[in-house]
Structure 1
C-alpha cells in the first residue's frame, strides 16, 4: 500500500487523524501514526496493544462489564442503531457464523435450552398462551398451522412416528387392551345381515387404499364414517359406512364424529391447502 509522506503538524492542520513520515518506530515497524498522540499503528504495536487490552480485561473484568452495562443503559437508542447498521452491513457473515456455531455446539445449545425451559416453565407457558390467544383473535392460527404443516410435513410425520414407536414400546399392555377392545367392538358392530357385498366393498376399499398409497406416497386407511365406538352412537361395520382416507386424518379422527359424510375429509384438506 502506497502512503503519502506527511508530518504530524501538517496532518493536524488539514484535520487528518493519521500521518506518515516513513520512519521506523522503536520496534522496527513502518506504519501510520495517530495525530492525537503519535502512537504507531504497525503490527508490532497493535499486537502489544491487543495483549495489554486482554490483560486489562482479565484484571478488571467486573468493572469493565459494569461500565459497559451503564453505557448501554444510558445510550440504548444509539446502541440499537449501531447494532442495526452493523447487522445490515454484515448480515450474511453473521448468519454464517451463527450457523457454524450451532453446528459445532449443538449439544450444549440443546442442553442449555432444555435447562432454560425447565427453569422457566410457567413463564414460557404464559407467553405461549398469550401468543396463541393473539393469533386466535386475529384469525391467523389455522392459516399459520396449515402453512407450517405444508412446509414441514415430512419432519412432523417422522417426529410423530418416533413418538408413536416410543409409546408403543413403553405401553405394550395398553396397546394390547386397545386392540382387543377394538376387535370386540368390530364384532359387535358387525350385523347379522353382513353379506358378500359388505365383504366385497371392504376388500375393494383395502385395495384402493394400497393403490392410493402407491400414487400419493402417503399411507391410506379404511375408516368407518360413523365410528364404531363414538361417544353417543356406534356405527356399523357395513359397506355404506366405509371410506378410504389418509392415515393422518384417520389417526386424528379417532372416535370423533367428523368426516361422517363422503368427501368431508377431502373438503378438510382443500380448506387447509395454502397452495
Structure 2
C-alpha cells in the first residue's frame, strides 16, 4: 500500500503525487496530484469523458491543421532535443516501434483517403446532433488490438454509438459486427 503523506509534505519533497489514505468526495481511495490536490481516479474519469465529448472536434482540428501541428511538433523537438535524445537512447525498441508506426501512417494517408475518412467523422457529428446520442468513428479491426492490427483506412471505419464503441474497446470480436444505421 502507498505511504500516507500530506500534501504539504509531498510539495516539500517535490513529489508529483501523494496518498492521504482518505476517500475523495466521490468515494475513490487513490493517490492525489500534488499541484491540483485532485484524485487520480476522478481525473482519469474526467479525462476519458472529455475525450469522448470532444473526439470529433479534436479529430477535425487535427485534419484541418496538419501544418500548424507539424510546426508545433518541430518546435517541441527543438526545445527538448536533449531530453528526446536521452529517451531514445534508453528506450531504443519503443522509439523504433513509434517511428515505424509514424512512417506507416504517413505512407498510408493520402488526400483521397483523408477526404473519405473525413466523411465518417462528419457523419458521426451529424448523427450525434440529429439523435442526441453520442456517436464515434470506430475501427472495425482495431489499430492496436491484442492479436491483430488494423489500418486507419476508409474501409476499416464505421460510425457507431459511443456506448457500443467503448464497450467493444480495443478488441477484435470473434464475429465482426458491422453496425448498420
Task: Return the structure number with greater relative CO, CA threshold 8 A, min gap 6.
Answer: 2
Provide TM-score, normalisation by structure 2.
0.41
Provide TM-score, normalisation by structure 1.
0.29
Q: Which has the larger radius of gyration?
A: 1
